[in-house]
Amino acid sequence: MNIQAPVKVDKAERMRRAREEAYATPLSQFHPGAPRLFQDDTLWPWFERLRNEEPVHYCTNAPIEPYWSVVKYNDIMHVDTNHGIFSSDSKLGGISIRDVPEGYDYPSFIAMDQPRHSAQRKTVSPMFTPTHLDELAKLIRQRSQTVLDNLPRNETFNFVERVSIELTTQMLATLFDFPWEERRKLTRWSDVSTALPKSGIVASGEERRREMDECYAYMSKLWNERVNSAPRNDLLSLMAHNEATRHMDPDNLMGNIILLIVGGNDTTRNTMTGSVLALNENPEQYDKLRENPELIDSMVPEVIRWQTPLAHMRRTALQDTEIGGKPIRKGDRVVMWYVSGNRDEEMFDKPNEFIIDRPRPRTHLSFGFGIHRCVGMRLAELQLKIVWEEMLKRFDRIEVVGEPKRIYSSFIKGYETLPVRIPG
């Protein structure tokens, strides 16, 4: 039975309408960071038009402060690798298009400039060395086997909940040495920390504050335990026993904890889900992968490009400068749209196509570049590689049997649900 056709037809009609709207809207009225474009998966023609007509665009038509959109690969690289000009400091607004709400501007090393950034980042980097990744690989494989072996056959289930969230949350619990039976708290805190008011994840600002306070109290207790015990090989212990982070103030501690939770949860979880969707929307690629499982090595970075789990990163200009001939003033918000740079026609052949044997697949922007390049990117790739090795061993096909429900966010590009079925 062909279950791909309904997904393709729905998507084609949705994209036709999105293209009409994008090309009928004056550029002066563009707000490419509108979360609805991402939730509806209708962002693509908007960014295509910006790449072609105004690759450095100033948005004044938004319910947030004006911002610059940088949408082409080389311009994004320029911003990302010039940290002396473009700041990620939380005190200037942070790394998201929207300023961090007051009281949530926790400084973390991703939202911090030099020299503090590198000093704090280095404390957690031992977790991601090749030697430690080899050890983690054994654990990832064992857990992937257990989760996949317990999936139902001939029954619709939510891949996000049963596979993506479960596997990434298990890994987070290991990285933090977090109490195993309470590991889903990590998932919840990740979701709450990045949720927009209209996302439905939290009912009010008060609820969000209450849950983040719970996170802080819980993690502070674990922190104090690690400070007062012998060093161990987990993220909290690494920070607790390093001079660069041992004496962090409470906000800095909270900032780094949230960064590591979100970084370890959202990116891998949403790319894992996106890989199943991409292969279903491109059945010829799924056939190619089944016939040659060694293509997993190039499929993984291709799906990271195709999904782009973090759609953007924001910087604040520290001085007057220019990008692509446009004058940027000191204090301006500059948004690097990785999701657009990863579809740049000048950098990628057939950029809107999902091609699992694409040449040089690691040239994507999804992990960022420069000093803020994702510290856990090799672990993310490893998790995706192993779960697909194990899925191909077990299942001839995982069928997507309905439309995915996407997250209401232009920062986290991800999924709430993906209904799937494993024939058997």
Q: Which residue has better confidence, 329 or 212?
A: 329
Handedness of CA 324, 330, 336, 337 (dihedral sign): negative
Which residues in 15-42 are b (16+ Cβ under 10 Å) and which e?
eeebbeebeeeeeeebbbbbbebbbeeb
User: What is the predicted pLDDT for the residue at 173?
Assistant: 93
Residue 158 and residue 398 in contact, taking contact as beta carbons nearer than 8 Å: no
Confidence class of residue 105 from pLDDT cuts 50, 70 and 90? low
Of 305, 288, 365, residue with least CA distance to 78: 365
Average pLDDT of the residues in 41-63: 96
Length of the chain counted residue by residue: 424
User: Radius of gyration (Cα) for the chain, nearest Å?
Assistant: 21
Of 258, 270, 63, 251, residue with least CA distance to 160: 270
Token pair of 188 as six digits? 């919840």
Over the stretch 263-302, which tens digit does the pLDDT of each residue have?
A: 878 789 999 999 999 999 999 999 999 999 999 999 999 9
User: What is the predicted pLDDT for the residue at 103?
Assistant: 67
Query: At residue 123, does pLDDT exceed 70?
Result: yes
Over the stretch 137-149, which tens digit does the pLDDT of each residue have?
A: 999 999 999 999 9
Q: Which residue has better confidence, 280 or 5?
A: 280
Over the stretch 19-32, which tens digit does the pLDDT of each residue have?
A: 999 999 999 999 99
Query: At residue 66, does pLDDT exceed 70?
Result: yes
Report the DSSP beta bridge partners of residue 314: 335
User: What is the predicted pLDDT for the residue at 112?
Assistant: 64
Tell me how far apart the alpha carbons of residues 342 and 245 are, in angstroms, rounded to a whole number: 34
| Residue corresponding to tokens 């596979």 | 163
Q: What is the 3-state secondary structure (H, E, C) of 43-81?
A: CHHHHHHHHHHCCEEEECCCCCCCEEEECCHHHHHHHHC
Over the stretch 366-409, which tens digit does the pLDDT of each residue have?
A: 999 988 888 889 999 999 999 999 999 999 999 999 999 999 99
Report the C-alpha dihedral over residues 162, 159, 302, 125, rounded to 10 degrees.
-20
User: What is the predicted pLDDT for the residue at 72?
Assistant: 98
Q: In this structure, what are the phi and psi dihedrals at residue 79, rounded to the nearest 5 degrees?
A: -70, -45
Q: How far is CA 79 from CA 15, 83, 323, in A?
A: 30, 7, 8
Average pLDDT of the residues in 170-175: 92
Q: Which residue has better confidence, 123 or 310?
A: 310
Please state, for a pLDDT cut of 70, what percent of the chain lies above it.
Answer: 95
Over the stretch 231-262, which tens digit does the pLDDT of each residue have?
A: 988 889 999 998 888 888 888 888 888 888 88
Residue 87 and residue 116 in contact, taking contact as beta carbons nearer than 8 Å: no
| Residue corresponding to tokens 């994507």 | 364
User: What is the predicted pLDDT for the residue at 5?
Assistant: 39
